[in-house]
Structure 1
Amino acid sequence: MIQERTSPRARPAMRFVLLVGILSFFADCTYEGARGVLGPYLSTVGASATIIGVVMGLGELLGYGLRAVSGAVADFSRRFWPITIVGYVVQMASVPALALTHDWRSAALLVIAERVGKAIRNPPRDVMLANAAQHIGGYGWVFGIHEAFDQFGAMVGPLVVAAVLAQRGSYHAAFAVLAVPAALNLLFVFLARLLYPTPEEMKTADQRSSHATQRFPSVFWLYVVGAGLVAAGFADYPIIAFHWARGGVLGSEWIPIFYAVAMAVSGGGSLLLGRLFDRYGFVVLIGLTCISALFAPLVFLVDHFVAALLGVALWGLGMGVHESIIPAAVAPMIAAERRASAFGAFTALYGVCWFAGSAVIGWLYDRSIVATVVFCLLVQAAAIPAFLIVRRKLETK
């Protein structure tokens, strides 16, 4: 059970959440700044839509799939900080290195390396945040706070890239500038490690009994199915940006700005959505899935500036759901000692679905934009029955 806000550990737990939020701000500023222009950049160095879809999907596959390994190692070793630090170092080194690439193959390797770094650091970091949530009012609230920092960074990064492109007209210069927030991220990572060397101790006493042999409950696996369908039907921003650039819907300088808009929507809504999820549960996730799925016809079928803006706002809302509510929902299903493994297993299967969906979306786009939109809508709609069953099972526990 979540502890009351009057818990004596509430204040240090909140300080920890805010510090992790700051380092995540600089992380997202770095890699989301790059991801906002990866589609157009990869096309300038010889990549087709299919290649972009496969590269981005493979990055997500490894970026999610390897979390099963990272989570299991974190649960077994209880060395949350060392694993988290390694992940951040790999991720932050990969993004500025894109400034040195001149063909899609070398760029693709760095794109994938960045996702691998994220895979390494996420499960242990999420466990530390979940432990802090025991003292601050709820999983949705804590993950919502974290997502707000994430998406604020994800808004600033693309704006910085847009400014560099407007002034210099060079993708390589934009990637090089991202070395600054990358360095600041690592500075705050080490500061957090110094100030909070054992944040796993923030979990409440009733969670400390051993559950190491406990299997994941059936409701967890059903939830994986629903979340995987949502992931499979969610198009990556690079393929959306590729569509806009190829069709002349937006100029190159507008594409990172629209990505910043999406991140602002995601971050701005995450605090409210986290609160709503803590209060009302899965009905919030179901409603948001239905609403955010409407991004597909707006961004792919209506070649108009305003439609693209509305579509990217809905896409950003969906990203907020992916990054905050969907992982927050995992924590209360699983015993504390298995959470890193649960986060890892969940996101591994989630990533397989994301990869498969991204590859299919890229393949369909090269053949039929209408088929691409139909696929996105139908696959995400198929998740609703699974979420409804999960909701009923949790409410009857």
Structure 2
Amino acid sequence: MAFGVVSLLMDFVYEGARSITGPLLGALGASGAVVGVVTGVGEAAAFGLRLVSGPLADRTRRFWTWTILGYVVTAVAVPFLGLAGVLWVASALVIAERVGKAVRSPAKDTLVSHATAVTGRGKGFAVHEAMDQVGAVIGPLTVAGILAVTGDDYAPALGVLAIPGAAAIVLLFWLRARVPDPAGYETTPTAGETVVPGQSRRLPRAFWVYAAFTAATLSGFATFGVLSFHLVRQHLLPVAAVPVIYAAAMGVDALAALATGWLYDRTGTTTLAVLPLFAAATPLLAFTRTSWLAVAGALLWGAAVGIQESTLRATVADLVPVGRRATAYGIFAGIMGAATLVGGTLTGVLYDVSVPLLITVVITIQALALALLLITRTRAVHPAGA
């Protein structure tokens, strides 16, 4: 529970900032393509650099150190984002905040996977994600309120986020002192835990097939930066209202995480079929010129993110042994990062070219992802044919 409070506080910080990334970059002269590239690169960094941080966490076994370091990077980068007066500085800080997530996430996910071993990983990761989203609702609403009062001044709106960031770091140090080794919660072996001579360092084939499905669905998924850019550019909402929509999307994120986490513990990967369906429907709604439809698209985007942040990650823990789990999370995140970069860049560029073309491409990609998920399930049921 205490770790959930840390995540709540830090989501307060970085989700508050992410809720206005698109309008902030737009105010500094960015086009839709630039917003898509910067947010895509940021997400790619958040995922891709875990290819390094994951194995390092496994090798050093310093899971708390990597977790704390990553949170510190984020807590420092966000308040300075509000002071950026030129596009390249703001872009660098957006990416730096995501780098902090890359540093901490494999180690943090490993710590959470240990703690959820006795509760059911689908439910455990879902509850953790739901607590994240409490902060993800409070942060954007706080930013929205300050923007409304100050006349869209980004400096105080982002500067106030230094307070929950500092509180989270203090709580992390306290928690590490109380629970130095969460691996003690692993009371039973995990699926795939048996060590085979000569193969103890290899990840299961099921993991790689599952990662391929994840890459496919994320390569056709828009970032909120592009969605919020559309909302402001088409004058569908004022800038101060965008963080409110983001907060609502994060509330939907929490509900989707809890629902799919509960279903995952009972039905397995079948639950994930809703992810490409949500991702395909999002641009159909979000990139219209009707306010309520665009808002509905943003909320559906939040539901898809909730599944990505909880159930997708829970599955990895059930596929990979304890000794390789941080490495697996790092590799999985690297694959997610590359796909997210493709998704953010693709949707940003296509937005500037043709919204109907953007929608067509996204639907096609998600149809392919859904087919790949079916193959994944077939292989899981018939391992001899894998």
Find the counterpart in structure 2 of residue 367 from structure 1.
353
CA shift at 1:292, angstroms? 4.2
Amino acid of the structure 1 residue aligned with 2:345? A
Partners of 2:96 and 2:229 lie apart in 1 by 22
Q: 2:103 aligns with which of 113, 116, 120?
A: 120
Q: Is the 8 A contact 2:47 2:338 kept in 1?
A: yes
Find the counterpart in structure 1 of residue 272 from structure 2.
285
Change (3 A) 1:288 1:358: closer
C-alpha root-mean-square deviation of aligned residues, in Å?
1.6
Q: Is the 8 A contact 1:292 1:317 kept in 2?
A: no
Find the counterpart in structure 2 of residue 147 from structure 1.
129
Find the counterpart in structure 1 of residue 206 from structure 2.
219
Find the counterpart in structure 1 of residue 370 from structure 2.
384
- Write out aligned runs for 1:18-33 (5 A): 18-33=1-16
Find the counterpart in structure 1 of residue 139 from structure 2.
157
Find the counterpart in structure 2 of residue 13 from structure 1.
none
Q: 1:54 aligns with which of 11, 28, 37?
A: 37
CA shift at 1:205, angstroms? 5.5
Q: Is the 8 A contact 1:140 1:328 kept in 2?
A: yes
Alpha-carbon displacement from aligned partner over 1:163-211 (angstroms, at most 9, x marks no partner):
0011012111101111111112112211211211111222226468767
Partners of 1:147 and 1:187 lie apart in 2 by 21
- Write out aligned runs for 1:4-23 (5 A): 18-23=1-6
Partners of 1:33 and 1:69 lie apart in 2 by 27
Find the counterpart in structure 1 of residue 160 from structure 2.
177
Partners of 2:187 and 2:378 lie apart in 1 by 27
Helix, strand or coil at the partner of 1:187: helix
CA shift at 1:357, angstroms? 1.8
Find the counterpart in structure 2 of residue 66 from structure 1.
49
Find the counterpart in structure 1 of residue 314 from structure 2.
328
Alpha-carbon displacement from aligned partner over 1:24-80 (angstroms, at most 9, x marks no partner):
001111101011111011111121111111111111111101111111011111111
Helix, strand or coil at the partner of 2:211: helix
Partners of 1:312 and 1:203 lie apart in 2 by 38
Amino acid of the structure 2 residue aligned with 1:75? D
Helix, strand or coil at the partner of 1:330: helix
- Write out aligned runs for 1:176-325 (5 A): 176-204=159-187, 206=189, 213-300=200-287, 302-325=288-311
Where structure 2 has 5 or more consecutive residues not aligned to the other structure, the ranges are none
Where structure 1 has 5 or more consecutive residues not aligned to the other structure, the ranges are 1-17
Helix, strand or coil at the partner of 1:294: helix
Amino acid of the structure 2 residue aligned with 1:364? L
TM-score (norm 2): 0.94
Alpha-carbon displacement from aligned partner over 1:363-397 (angstroms, at most 9, x marks no partner):
11111111111222221221112211222233346
Change (3 A) 1:265 1:135: same
285-294 vs 153-162, which moves further: 285-294
Number of aligned pairs?
Answer: 378
Amino acid of the structure 2 residue aligned with 1:306? W
CA shift at 1:273, angstroms? 1.7
Q: Is the 8 A contact 2:83 2:154 kept in 1?
A: no
Partners of 2:310 and 2:372 lie apart in 1 by 19
Q: Is the 8 A contact 1:210 1:337 kept in 2?
A: no
Partners of 1:395 and 1:263 lie apart in 2 by 34
Helix, strand or coil at the partner of 1:248: coil
CA shift at 1:293, angstroms? 2.5
Partners of 2:298 and 2:345 lie apart in 1 by 21
Amino acid of the structure 2 residue aligned with 1:192? L
Alpha-carbon displacement from aligned partner over 1:105-148 (angstroms, at most 9, x marks no partner):
00111111111110010101111111122111x11111101110
Change (3 A) 1:349 1:291: closer
Q: Is the 8 A contact 2:30 2:87 kept in 1?
A: yes
Residue 353 (structure 2) pairs with residue 340 (structure 1): no
Q: Is the 8 A contact 1:224 1:346 kept in 2?
A: yes
Partners of 1:150 and 1:378 lie apart in 2 by 32
